[in-house]
């Protein structure tokens, strides 16, 4: 029995097609990996982390009289100067409004002199306070004297108030995924960062302070006498009363 073979011109296209298919498979194996959609983070601390960054600390002082500072503003200025001495970088910029009526301009100038004198009393030299004018857009409104300096602050890395996904029924996978919205927890993180007095406390703990030598000596003496050095506390109205218990 004689076996029939297809002519040579018919076998060549099939071989070419097979070679092309193998080449496409090899190229697919060596190509870039497929990129899928990111998985949303369910923990708001990971979505909105608190970071340390340089920021501007500012205080607006209003001229309420000819060089007069009310007790509220005087206390705010003292706390502002103390914060600058502890954490401030560079100097203090004092922006004085310009373009006010003569009566208001005189009051603002006297208030600025009072701030310089107040800063010297709080330990901030006059050379550390730099004055700069700024134009007043609306003379009829109160124009404060702006104090500002640079310091390291704790802040949220992202901007709060962003809603990248619709909270309604627009996406089945997102609506029934039981995942929190992106903005959830951002305000909590921002409030926590604003309440931190020293941002370094978020990075490392503080070293152990000095021991109470008087209390330690007293407790050791009670142990030597066979007494219990512990103390008990009882609440008597609004005053906490301390009493020692002996064996």
The domains of the chain are located at 44-48+158-195, 50-156, 213-244
CA dist., res. 221 & res. 96, Å (int): 63
Does 50-156 carry CATH code 1.10.8.60? no
Phi, psi of 135 (to 5 degrees): -75, 145
| Of 205, 152, 184, 149, the residue nearest 41 (C-alpha) | 184
Q: What is the dihedral of CA 93, 99, 105, 111, to 10 degrees?
A: -10
What is the full per-residue pLDDT of the chain (247 aa) written as tens digits? 555 455 555 455 566 566 655 565 555 554 555 444 444 567 888 889 999 999 999 999 998 877 778 899 999 999 999 999 999 999 999 999 998 888 888 889 999 999 999 999 999 988 899 999 999 988 778 899 999 999 999 999 888 888 887 777 666 766 676 778 888 899 999 999 999 989 999 999 888 888 889 989 999 999 999 998 887 777 765 545 454 444 4
Residues 6+ apart with CB under 8 A from 227: 244, 246, 247
């Amino acid at each position: 029995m004689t076996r029939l073979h297809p002519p040579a011109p018919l076998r060549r296209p099939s071989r070419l097609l097979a070679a092309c298919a193998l080449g496409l498979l090899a190229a697919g194996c060596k190509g870039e990996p497929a990129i899928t959609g990111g998985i949303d983070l369910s923990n708001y601390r990971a979505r909105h982390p608190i970071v340390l960054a340089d920021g501007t600390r500012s205080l607006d002082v209003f001229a309420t009289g000819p060089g007069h500072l009310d007790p509220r503003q005087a206390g705010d200025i003292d706390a502002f100067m103390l914060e600058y001495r502890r954490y401030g970088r560079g100097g203090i910029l004092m922006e004085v409004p310009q373009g006010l009526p003569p009566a208001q301009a005189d009051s603002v100038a006297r208030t600025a002199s009072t701030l310089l004198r107040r800063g010297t009393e709080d330990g901030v030299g006059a050379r550390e306070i730099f004055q700069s004018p700024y134009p007043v857009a609306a003379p009829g409104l109160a124009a404060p004297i702006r104090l500002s300096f640079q310091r390291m602050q704790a802040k949220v890395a992202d901007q709060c108030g962003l809603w990248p996904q619709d909270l309604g029924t627009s996406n089945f996978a997102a609506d029934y995924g039981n995942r929190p919205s992106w903005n959830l927890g951002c305000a909590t993180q921002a409030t926590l960062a604003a309440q931190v007095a020293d941002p370094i406390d978020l990075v490392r703990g503080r070293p152990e302070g000095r021991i109470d030598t008087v209390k330690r000596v007293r407790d050791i003496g009670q142990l030597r006498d066979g007494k219990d050095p512990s103390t008990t506390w009882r609440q008597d109205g609004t005053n906490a009363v301390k009493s020692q218990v002996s064996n």
